[in-house]
Structure formats: structure tokens, C-alpha cells
């Protein structure tokens, strides 16, 4: 950890911790006491600071509001049985944040700013890190343009921030999803691999239509033919077919998920065949019909592992088998939980102590 930065800290005088019910946490609605703020102008990052969580003023002409220069990340911190706090794969999130920044013509965030700011923020709000099973401190780093000017061009100034919130389980039951064959989340050559705000705004309407039909989420398909699986809602999609772990190969239209990387690594560690390739909707349905589709699930930071129970296609619902106790999704979910809680070895060095 680099300690070259001076990060001024203004502590809150009115902590919300005593009034927070950790047994009833709606995801993303309860925020910790402090936040990290760093501004970029005149071609360089200014001195970061940690301040009480709260509202901030922006110009009505703020260019992020008008032209969408806004990116974010999602990550989690966990408390082990000894009370030590670890973050899961933060360097991977920094790498992806900076890839998103480059795609959106934004400045990259230096490692020392990201890691030292993150560590100091979480140490200050250590009491906000829950320790119940399935819970974590969700961490949201984000950056947005701050020029107050109307004009379609990259902003000259930006703000980088980190806010955190204690969370419980994201999904509490298996999902009903359907293949999307009209709307597009992203196209090859677009910004689908970047975690920019516009990707999520554009996905809301088709997702709303699916939810009105009784589905929880969509399985997005490719923009040109609507044949091949891309992502599942806001998660990467993984299938277990005849003992093989199959997932769409990464491209400029698919987000390089950190949980996806972790699940595939564990599968390889266990000697399971892993296939990163094109996966068609028809292949999935044929596997369901002939009994070789053992599991389907989404993977992401918020949900970790979200089993899929039903897949809809062209007006017909197809029910997937209920995974057995020894199913891959259960084993990999338990393995990740054990690594994060410190109950199992961390051979790949994913956990970074705060």
C-alpha cells in the first residue's frame, strides 16, 4: 500500500450508525458515514479528502448530466472471524475503472489515490462493515465530468468519489429470465465493455417490459442477429452443460466481470472444462430439452451467484432443473464465501487487507 498521499479527513459529527438496522438492509439505500472526494482540473488530480456523506452542488450545465461522461465500479469488503477487513480484488476493479475512463475520454485514476483513499475510507467506517453471512460492505467508486458548459466534447474537469453501503443478499430466490430479441444492451464496437452510466440507463426500458411479463431480468443477445447470449441483466451469464462450464467470450459488448473471472478460475482450479465462446440461445434450449443443461446462473458483484430457474424464449417458458446440493454454482458460491471470510486459503491473492 502506498502512503504518499495526504488525505485530509473531516469526521462526521452525527453518525447514522446507531439508527441503522443491519438485519433489514435494502440494497443500496443505507450509506456509511463518510465518502472520498478527489477533483481533477488543470490536467492533474488535486488533493483528495474524506468528508461526511452528503449532497453536493453541481452546475445545471454539468456536462455529465447532458452528455453522459460518468463511469462507476462495484466491489465489496468483508470482515473475517477475527474482525479484520479485506476487499475482494480491488486492483481488478481499478484496472476496469481505468479502461472505462479511457473509453469515455476521462482521466485515469492513479493507483495510490484509489487504493489509499479506499483503505482510509473503509478504516474510518470499519464499524459499517457487516459480518453476518451473505452480507458485505458494498463499495461504489465513480467518476463524472464537472465542467459547467454545454458543448459536445470531453470535459476538462472531473470528480472521483467513493461511497459505501452495508448490504445483505441481492436476490433471495432463483430468477425468471427471458431472451431479449428486439432491444440491444450494446453492440460490437460500442461501450458495452465499459462500466459507464449510459449502458444501464438504456437497459431499463426493455427490462421493465420483461418485468411486466413476470420475469426478473433479461438475457441480452447480440445486436446483429439476436442469436447469441451476451449478458444476463446486469450480470455475466454462465451455463453448465454436460459437465462443462460455458460462458460467452469477452468482447467490446460484454463487461469483463470480476466475479466472472473468479468463478472461471475456480472451475479451472477444480479441473472442470471451461469454454469461453459464442453461446446461442438455441444451444441452451436444446441442452435444456435433452437434459444436458445442468445449471444456468448470473454472476456479478451485487448478487455473486444468482441461479436461473426459468428461461423464456419466443413466448414459451422453459424450466431448468433445480441444482443439487453438490452443483457447481453451490460449490463455487461456498468457495468464494469461504475465501472472502478467511475460512479458506486465498491461493490467487484476491483478498487485500485494509
State pLDDT tens for residues 203-231.
Answer: 999 999 999 999 999 999 999 999 999 99
The whole-number pLDDT of residue 309 equals 97
Note whether 260 and 299 are within 8 A (CB). yes
User: Hunting for cell 478527489 — which residue is that?
Assistant: 38
Pairing mode, strands 8-9 and 49-52: parallel
Q: Find cell 439508527 and name the residue.
A: 19
CA separation for the pair 84, 86 (Å, rounded): 7
Residue 268 predicted with pLDDT over 60? yes
d(CA 29, CA 8): 26
Residue bearing the bigger pLDDT, 54 or 303: 54
Q: Are 115 and 3 in contact (CB under 8 A)?
A: no
16 pLDDT above the threshold of 90? yes
Average pLDDT of the chain? 95
pLDDT band at 310 (very low <50, low <70, confident <90, very high): very high
- pLDDT tens digit sequence for 36-93: 999 999 999 999 999 999 999 999 999 999 999 999 999 999 999 899 999 999 999 9
pLDDT band at residue 287 using 50, 70 and 90 as cut-offs: very high
Residue 327 has, within 13 A of its CA and on its CB side, a CA count of 18
In the structure, what pLDDT confidence band is assigned to residue 2 with cuts at 50, 70 and 90? very low
pLDDT for the residue numbered 4: 67
C-alpha cell at 296: 444456468
Cell 471470510, residue located:
341
Mean pLDDT, residues 324-353: 95
Helix (H, G, I), strand (E, B) or coil at 4: coil
Residue 165 CA to residue 32 CA, distance in Å, equals 5
Helices (H), 152-253: 197-212
What integer is the mean pLDDT of 292-305?
94
Q: Based on the number of CB atoms within 10 Å of its own CB, is 68 exposed (0-12), middle (13-18) or buried (19 or more)?
A: middle
Amino acid at each position: 500500500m502506498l502512503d504518499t498521499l495526504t488525505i485530509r479527513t473531516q469526521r462526521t459529527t452525527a453518525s447514522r450508525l446507531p439508527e441503522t438496522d443491519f438485519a433489514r438492509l435494502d440494497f443500496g439505500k443505507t450509506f456509511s458515514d463518510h465518502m472520498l472526494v478527489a477533483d481533477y482540473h488543470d490536467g492533474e488530480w488535486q488533493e483528495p479528502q474524506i468528508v461526511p456523506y452528503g449532497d453536493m452542488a453541481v452546475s445545471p450545465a454539468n456536462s455529465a448530466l447532458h452528455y453522459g461522461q460518468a463511469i462507476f465500479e462495484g466491489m465489496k469488503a468483508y470482515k473475517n472471524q477475527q474482525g479484520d477487513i479485506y476487499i475482494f480484488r480491488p486492483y481488478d476493479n481499478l484496472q476496469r475503472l481505468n479502461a472505462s475512463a479511457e473509453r469515455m475520454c476521462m482521466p485515469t485514476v492513479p493507483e495510490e489515490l484509489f487504493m489509499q483513499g479506499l483503505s482510509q475510507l473503509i478504516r474510518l467506517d470499519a464499524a459499517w462493515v457487516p459480518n453476518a453471512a451473505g452480507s458485505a460492505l458494498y463499495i461504489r467508486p465513480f467518476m463524472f465530468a464537472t465542467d459547467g458548459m454545454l458543448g459536445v466534447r470531453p470535459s476538462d474537469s472531473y470528480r472521483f468519489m467513493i461511497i459505501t453501503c452495508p448490504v445483505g443478499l441481492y436476490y433471495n430466490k432463483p430468477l425468471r429470465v427471458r431472451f431479449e430479441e428486439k432491444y440491444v444492451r450494446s453492440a460490437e464496437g460500442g461501450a458495452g465493455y465499459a462500466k459507464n452510466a449510459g449502458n444501464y440507463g438504456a437497459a431499463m426500458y426493455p427490462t421493465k417490459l420483461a418485468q411486466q411479463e413476470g420475469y426478473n431480468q433479461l438475457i441480452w443477445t447480440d445486436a446483429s442477429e439476436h442469436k447469441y447470449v451476451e449478458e444476463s441483466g446486469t450480470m455475466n451469464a454462465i451455463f453448465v452443460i454436460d459437465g462443462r462450464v460455458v460462458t460467452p467470450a469477452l468482447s467490446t459488448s460484454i463487461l469483463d466481470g470480476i466475479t466472472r473471472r473468479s468463478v472461471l478460475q475456480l472451475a479451472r482450479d477444480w479441473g472442470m472444462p471451461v469454454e469461453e465462446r459464442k453461446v446461442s440461445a438455441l444451444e441452451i434450449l436444446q441442452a435444456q430439452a435433452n437434459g444436458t443443461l445442468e445449471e444456468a446462473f448470473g454472476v456479478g458483484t451485487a448478487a455473486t451467484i444468482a441461479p436461473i430457474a426459468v428461461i423464456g424464449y419466443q413466448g414459451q417458458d422453459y424450466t431448468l432443473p433445480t441444482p443439487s446440493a453438490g452443483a457447481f454454482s453451490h460449490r463455487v458460491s461456498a468457495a468464494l464465501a469461504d475465501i472472502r471470510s478467511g475460512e479458506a486459503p486465498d491461493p490467487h491473492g484476491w483478498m487485500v487487507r485494509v
